[in-house]
């Protein structure tokens, strides 16, 4: 199979899955999420209305929010600082972790 065909197939598969499956590693995300626990809760169930609940949120939504904070497209001083140090892989892992939790 030519490389180009592989790329097209991969893109088609990504579209076909609707992006519903998080590629991240939830266990790694759980470890990383210790930095988020103070505000969002260890499992994403924040007990303070000031901080949004992340538990059970769609992985795509969480990833896009974190990328937007990082780029400054979504403006929030606290979250910009939090997202600044996250790699794309960290973001996928965090999204996998929080999206796999149950919103209480
Ligand atoms: C010091 C408190 C604090 C910490 C620590 C923190 N956050 Fe946040 N987070 C906030 C606040 C406040 C908001 C709401 C900002 C806004 O209005 O956009 C927010 C919003 C978010 C959102 C958007 C939620 C939504 O419903 O749109 C995501 C995703 C998020 N945080 C992820 C994280 C992750 C992942 C970490 C750890 C790496 C983290 N946060 C650490 C305070 C914090």
**Look-up: residue for tokens 């007990």?**
47
Taking 50 as the threshold, does the pLDDT of residue 17 lie above it? no
Q: Is 87 in the pocket of ligand 1 (CB under 6 A)?
A: no
Per-residue pLDDT band for 23 (boundaries 50, 70, 90) equals confident
How far CA 91 is from CA of 1, 22, 40, 64, in Å, comes to 32, 10, 15, 9
pLDDT at 58: 98
Q: How far is CA 32 from the centre of its chain?
A: 11
Residue nearest to atom 36 of ligand 1 (CA): 36
Report how far ligand 1's centroid is from the alpha carbon of 62 (Å): 10
Residue nearest to atom 41 of ligand 1 (CA): 36
Taking 60 as the threshold, does the pLDDT of residue 21 lie above it? no
Q: For residue range 85-99, list pLDDT tens digits in order.
A: 999 999 999 999 999
Q: Which pair of structure tokens corresponds to residue 17?
A: 């899955």
Q: For residue range 69-83, list pLDDT tens digits in order.
A: 999 999 999 999 999
């Amino acid at each position: 199979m030519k490389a180009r065909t592989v790329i097209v197939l991969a893109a088609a598969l990504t579209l076909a899955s609707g992006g519903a499956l998080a590629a991240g590693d939830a266990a790694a995300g759980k470890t990383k999420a210790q930095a988020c626990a103070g505000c969002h809760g260890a499992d994403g169930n924040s007990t303070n209305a000031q901080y949004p609940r992340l538990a059970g949120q769609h992985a795509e939504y969480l990833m896009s929010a974190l990328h937007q904070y990082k780029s400054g497209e979504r403006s929030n001083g606290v979250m910009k600082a939090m997202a600044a140090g996250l790699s794309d892989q960290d973001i996928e892992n965090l999204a996998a972790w929080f999206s796999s939790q149950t919103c209480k």
